[in-house]
Amino acid sequence: MRSKRSLFLRVTLLACAAAVLAVGGTLLLREWLGDPWLAGAIAIAVIVPLAIVLVRGPLAPMAAMFRALAGTVTSYRDGDFAFSLAWEHDDELGELVAAHNALGDTLRAQRESLVHRELLLDTMVQHTPVAMLLVDATEHVVFGNLAARKLLGSGRRLEGKLLGELLETAQQPLRESVARGGDGLFVVDQDGEEEIYYLARSGFRLNGRAHELFVLRQLTVELHREEVRTWKKVIRVISHELNNSLAPVASLAHSGGELVKLGKHDQLEKVFATIAERAKHLEQFITGYAQFAKLPAPRVEACAWAELVGRLRAQVAFEVDGALPERARFDPAQLEQALVNLLRNAHESGSPTEEIRVRVKTVANAVAIEVADRGGGMTEAVLANALLPFYSTKRGGTGLGLALVREIAEAHGGRVSLANRPGGGVTVTMTLPQ
């Protein structure tokens, strides 16, 4: 406990010594001079300042240390941790100095670790093939990595330059993509070859000021790889379907020839009917692929809902929920094809016919068309992939039905969404702008 009290004791003893010196000196002068007023004046003029000097001398190192501590706090605030303090006495002030030095060591170690991480991050950002450009509110470039320099500055530094000036020398697709705003794809010519880029933009505040980050990622290799995978899948699907149809046709043709040799002409009708059925299936399969691959631009016109529903009911059974709007604008042939696909999917889901329902709602600047069933519903994985081309959970399915519906909706400037219904079944919603 001695070290805990030593500083207090030292200050107390010094104060007591100063008091004794002042009071004792005053009493001695009074006794010697015999005049209390003169003794008091001499004490105030000589003895009290002397006592203050005697006390201030031992306390000066403490005052200097407190000033040093205040200085280190200022240095810490400015990010300078490269020094420490020393106090030779084992007292409370010594403990404060030791704690202060330990804090400085911790802050210095954290600063070094942060600097190392920043260097690592800067190295990674500089050498990534993704071009990154940070622009402040005045559209001046704050940061551009090596990929951005190559794309926009011919390898030169971009910091401090105006974004507009850099875009003046950039290729037109890049300028148009930035001018459109938002994210999107664009194609530029590099060394005589087309390169596909994806532009992503995000805004945030840095040091209290608005900034925008442009990220340009080259997708040519990934898209080509995905294109090859898609073609391989298409070839597998077509090969499978052709084999499923041509193998039975070849077998049946051989069987028909044997029946002719044996004179069993009465069985040829069944053989020809099966061949015709397989040929029709193959024709429908090829037609489906052709429709998906060659979907023309929609011819939007004002159409009556009652007429469209009448044509649909001639092909597939369903119920209508609520009142139909009188008219809307869409391509009647394409929308009819999309709704036929959705209604047939609803029947194939196992839903009772009376539970397959169509509802048309007018929303803000759009019309929402819902096709609902009470089938088995979909898993989360199927919901996430159902709109992708060639994705199918049906045995022998082509995976083009819902994909064609999405193509038609997006060609109209709309969208398609799928969701499971409470109590079972699925609702597919087509939203078309009006």
pLDDT at 3: 42
What whole-number distance in Å separates Cα of residue 90 and Cα of residue 127?
A: 54
Report for 30-39, 55-64, 146-155: range of highest mean pLDDT = 146-155
What domain range includes position 159?
128-218
Flag whether 119 is in a domain.
Answer: no
Do 158 and 213 fall within a single domain?
A: yes
Residue 119 DSSP label: H
Q: What is the mean pLDDT of the chain?
A: 79
Flag whether 122 is in a domain.
Answer: no
Task: Report strand pairing: 426-433 vs 366-372.
Answer: antiparallel
Q: For the whole model, what pTM was predicted? A: 0.42
Which residue would you say has higher pLDDT here, 345 or 37? 345
Look at the chain and count its residues. 434
pLDDT at 359: 93
Is pLDDT of 1 > 50? no
pLDDT at 385: 75
Do 210 and 316 fall within a single domain?
A: no
Q: Which residues of 261-273 are buried (b: 16+ CB within 10 A; e: fewer)?
A: eeeeeeeeeebee
Is pLDDT of 283 > 90? no
Please choose, from the candidates 254, 340, 338, 243, the residue with its C-alpha nearest in 3D space to the C-alpha of residue 282: 243
Flag whether 206 is in a domain.
Answer: yes
pLDDT at 425: 92
Flag whether 429 is in a domain.
Answer: yes
Percent of the chain beyond pLDDT 70? 74
Q: pLDDT by residue (tens digit) across 380-429?
A: 878 877 777 666 666 656 667 788 888 888 888 889 999 999 889 999 99
Domain count, the chain: 4
The encoded tokens of residue 49 equal 């300042």
Do 259 and 306 fall within a single domain?
A: no
Residue 43 DSSP label: I
pLDDT at 246: 73
Do 320 and 420 fall within a single domain?
A: yes
First to last CA, the chain: 86
Q: Which of these three, 80, 110, 140, is where a domain ends?
A: 110
Q: pLDDT by residue (tens digit) across 73-105?
A: 888 777 777 777 887 777 777 788 888 888 888
Report for 182-186, 189-193, 229-233: range of highest mean pLDDT = 182-186
Q: pLDDT by residue (tens digit) across 320-342?
A: 998 888 888 999 888 998 899 89
Q: Which of these three, 186, 218, 250, is where a domain ends?
A: 218
Is pLDDT of 372 > 90? yes
Which residue would you say has higher pLDDT here, 335 or 273? 335
pLDDT at 33: 60
The widest CA-to-CA distance across the chain, in whole angstroms, is 164
- Mean per-residue pLDDT for 345-354? 90
Flag whether 117 is in a domain.
Answer: no
pLDDT at 5: 47
CB atoms near residue 178 (< 10 Å) = 20
Q: Sorting pLDDT into bands at 50, 70 and 90, what band is 19?
A: low
Would you tell me the crossing angle of helices 2-33 and 48-77 to the nearest 10 degrees?
150
- Mean per-residue pLDDT for 248-275? 77
Is pLDDT of 157 > 80? yes
Please choose, from the candidates 379, 7, 114, 388, the residue with its C-alpha nearest in 3D space to the C-alpha of residue 226: 388
- Mean per-residue pLDDT for 309-314? 90
- Mean per-residue pLDDT for 186-200? 80
- CATH number assigned to the domain comprising residue 330: 3.30.565.10
pLDDT at 136: 92
Q: Which of these three, 184, 218, 252, is where a domain ends?
A: 218
pLDDT at 4: 46
